[in-house]
């Protein structure tokens, strides 16, 4: 197999808080009449596995191609499954639920769920947009449990105004929520375990409240975490944690960046367009909204046709 940059078919998720911005901003062909909150760009979960959409490997899942060509794709012939990233683009037309994801120790202690650490890169933000990131210093488990009963959970959270280009890191155990009017690239570990504690007294189209997971959430939240531990980055290395590393790039029209073999990387394009050229592969075009996996054995260059902002994700 001659390695080449891999594009994937998106997996769309209808959400009560979603909208149509993925189509308006990135030209994605959304299902008609549905509020699409999430486009899963790269996933390797049992029920949702990305399928390659270009080249000779088209039709194979991310799992299948790594099992078949582990060294060429990942650089490691013994690369473990599943693929260790889940990459989404989120359209929060309305506010998301207040939620938390467990860490490995909580999953082991409770015997349920999969751990999840994530980050949010703000692609665009409406005026006055906010996120809720972590608990106010000093909030105890008992105080938070009372706030759940009284419907005052928002008063316990740190409310953070956000703007385009910011990256917010949320380690497992952080209580959080995305506010309305945000388009976000979410990079995370491969887990869909989400424990909701508050959903703003919202009802779905059938008049039903969404399920809450209060007991699991209270077990998962890190009440000793300080809000000072949850920083924000806007340039260069945005995230450097044990699960993934994220770097922000910005290239002008007609610039070219070399891609050396040796390390697998995922490119997420926020704006612009261009072509990835390989020494032994056909050119692969990209545009804003694309997520492309560059195999470890690939050698070539990215040629930018427009002013382009993008993220590079490595393990």
pLDDT tens, residue by residue, 267-306: 999 999 999 999 989 999 999 999 999 999 999 999 999 9
The DSSP secondary-structure symbol of 138 reads T
> Each residue of 71-94: pLDDT tens digit?
999 999 999 999 999 999 999 999
Q: How confident is the model at residue 230 (pLDDT cuts 50, 70, 90)?
A: confident
Do 49 and 26 form a contact (C-beta atoms < 8 A)?
Answer: no
pLDDT for 105 equals 98
- 261-274 burial, b at 16+ Cβ within 10 Å, e below that, comes to beebbbbbbbbbbb
241-256 pLDDT, tens digit per residue, is 999 999 999 999 999 9
Q: Which helix (H) or strand (E) holds 126?
A: none
Under a CB-based contact definition with an 8 Å cutoff, are residues 102 and 170 in contact?
no
Percent of the chain with pLDDT over 70: 100
pLDDT of residue 205 exceeding 90: no
The answer to whether 41 and 8 are in contact (CB under 8 A) is yes
| Structure confidence at residue 162 (pLDDT) | 98
Domains of the chain: 6-236 (2.60.120.10), 245-314 (2.60.120.10)
pLDDT at 228 over 80: no
3 state DSSP class of 271: coil
For residue 18, name the pLDDT band (cuts at 50, 70, 90). Answer: very high
The DSSP secondary-structure symbol of 256 reads: E
Rounded to the nearest integer, the mean pLDDT of the chain is 97
Q: Are 246 and 238 in contact (CB under 8 A)?
A: yes
Report how far residue 159's alpha carbon sits from residue 61's, in angstroms, rounded to the nearest whole number.
39
Strands 265-269 and 167-170: unpaired
pLDDT, residue 1, reads 85
Q: Which of 72, 53, 49, 70 is nearest to 61 (CA)?
A: 49
pLDDT for position 139: 97
**pLDDT class of 226 with cuts at 50, 70, 90:** confident
pLDDT of residue 231: 84
* Contact partners, residue 34, CB within 8 Å, separation at least 6: 12, 14, 18
Residue 227 clears pLDDT 90, i.e. is over it: no
User: Is 196 among the catalytic positions?
Assistant: yes
Give me the mean pLDDT over the 124-137 stretch.
Answer: 97
Nearest in space to 220 (alpha carbons), one of 129, 103, 84, 59: 103
What are 157-180's pLDDT values in tens digits? 999 999 999 999 999 999 999 999
Distances (CA, A) of 30 to 89, 138, 186, 198: 13, 43, 19, 28
Within 10 angstroms of residue 159's Cβ, the number of other Cβ atoms is 13
CB-CB neighbours of 12 under 10 Å: 18
- From 196, 202, 210, 303, the catalytic residue: 196
């Amino acid at each position: 197999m001659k390695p080449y940059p891999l594009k994937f078919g998106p997996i769309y998720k209808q959400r009560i808080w979603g909208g149509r911005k993925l189509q308006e901003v990135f030209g994605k062909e959304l299902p008609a009449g549905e509020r699409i909150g999430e486009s899963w760009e790269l996933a390797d979960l049992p029920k949702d596995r990305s399928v390659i959409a270009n080249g000779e490997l088209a039709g194979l899942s991310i799992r299948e191609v790594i099992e078949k060509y582990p060294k060429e794709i990942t650089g490691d012939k013994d690369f473990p499954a599943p693929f260790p990233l889940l990459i989404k683009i989120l359209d929060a037309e309305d506010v998301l639920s207040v939620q938390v994801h467990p860490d490995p120790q909580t999953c082991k202690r409770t015997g349920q769920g999969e751990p999840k650490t994530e980050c949010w890169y703000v692609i665009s933000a409406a005026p006055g947009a906010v996120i809720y990131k972590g608990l106010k210093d000093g909030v105890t488990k008992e105080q938070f449990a009372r706030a759940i009963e009284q419907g005052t959970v928002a008063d316990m959270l740190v409310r953070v105004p956000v703007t385009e280009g910011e990256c917010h890191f949320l380690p497992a155990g952080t209580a959080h929520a995305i506010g309305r009017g945000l388009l976000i690239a979410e990079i995370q570990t491969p887990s869909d375990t989400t424990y909701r504690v508050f959903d703003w007294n919202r009802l779905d189209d059938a008049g039903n409240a969404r399920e809450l997971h209060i007991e699991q959430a209270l077990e998962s939240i890190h009440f000793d975490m300080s809000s000072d531990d949850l920083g924000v980055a806007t340039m260069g290395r945005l995230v450097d944690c044990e699960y993934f590393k994220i770097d922000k790039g910005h290239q002008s029209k007609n610039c070219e960046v070399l891609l050396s073999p040796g390390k697998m990387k995922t490119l997420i394009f926020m704006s612009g367009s261009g072509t990835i050229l390989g020494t032994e592969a056909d050119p692969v075009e990209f545009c804003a909204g694309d997520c492309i996996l560059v195999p470890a054995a690939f050698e070539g260059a990215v040629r930018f046709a427009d002013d382009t902002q993008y993220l590079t994700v490595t393990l």
